[in-house]
Amino acid sequence: MNFEETRLRGAYLVDLDKREDQRGFFARAFCQHEFGAHNLETQFVQGNVSYNRSAGTLRGLHYQVAPHEEVKLVRCISGAIYDVIVDLRQGSPTVGQWTGVELSARNRRMLYVPRGFAHGYLTLVDDAEVLYLVSEFYTPGAERGLRYDDPALGITWPLPISVISDKDAAWPRFAPNPVTHPAR
């Protein structure tokens, strides 16, 4: 695997290191040793799948508060999404900043989302399916979110939002230091 740190410290794009031949290719999508060598999370307790019928579907921006903060490893396995993370870590030089990346079945990229980040995505095509591993069990009482259209964040979504849940549309605006996890 190839690891490329984003401008938000601790968040990585992970690309497959493909071994190709006449059959196609083989690659590791996760390796405890390789993730550990980059000081990244190596223990995941859940694997989640999210299927989205329509382009323009927005999910997020979600996070869990301490002590249930989670690391996510996100991959789009069908179609394409625009994946966004927001740094919420106290003391981080990039707190309140976001970055976005296209993940698709074609590019096979993954996004490593560290603890202390909000995460969400917008589907770019119909029938997009996302698979992600998480390091903590979902804890309803620890779930929080941010508004996808908060002017303080200034996220530029590549398509208009056409489908969003009532809960995701009602999240509060960004407030500094909403997460207690310190920046690493």
Q: Does residue 131 lie within any of the structural domains?
A: yes
What percent of the chain lies above the pLDDT cut of 90? Answer: 95
Which tokens hold the place of 13? 């794009």
pLDDT tens-digit series, residues 105-152: 999 999 999 999 999 999 999 999 999 999 999 999 999 999 999 999
Q: Does residue 144 lie within any of the structural domains?
A: yes
Q: Does residue 158 lie within any of the structural domains?
A: yes
Looking at 62, 63, 82, 121, which residue is catalytic? 62
Number of domains within the chain: 1
Q: Residue 110 belongs to what domain range?
A: 44-169
Q: Does residue 6 lie within any of the structural domains?
A: no
Round to whole Å and give the CA distance between 37 and 147.
35
Burial tier of 53 (Cβ tally within 10 Å: 0-12, 13-18, 19+): exposed
Q: Does residue 16 lie within any of the structural domains?
A: no
Q: Does residue 129 lie within any of the structural domains?
A: yes
User: ω into residue 67 within 30 of 0, thus cis?
Assistant: yes
Looking at 63, 132, 148, 181, which residue is catalytic? 132
**pLDDT confidence bin for 1, thresholds 50/70/90:** very high
pLDDT tens-digit series, residues 155-168: 999 999 999 999 99
Q: Is 63 a catalytic residue?
A: no
Q: Is 132 a catalytic residue?
A: yes
Q: Does residue 154 lie within any of the structural domains?
A: yes
**What is the DSSP pairing of strand 117-123 with strand 19-21?**
unpaired
The stretch 75-79 carries a mean pLDDT of 98
Q: Does residue 12 lie within any of the structural domains?
A: no
Per-residue pLDDT for 178 more than 60?
no
* CATH number of residue 76's parent domain: 2.60.120.10
Residue 51 CA, chain-centre distance (Å), reads: 15
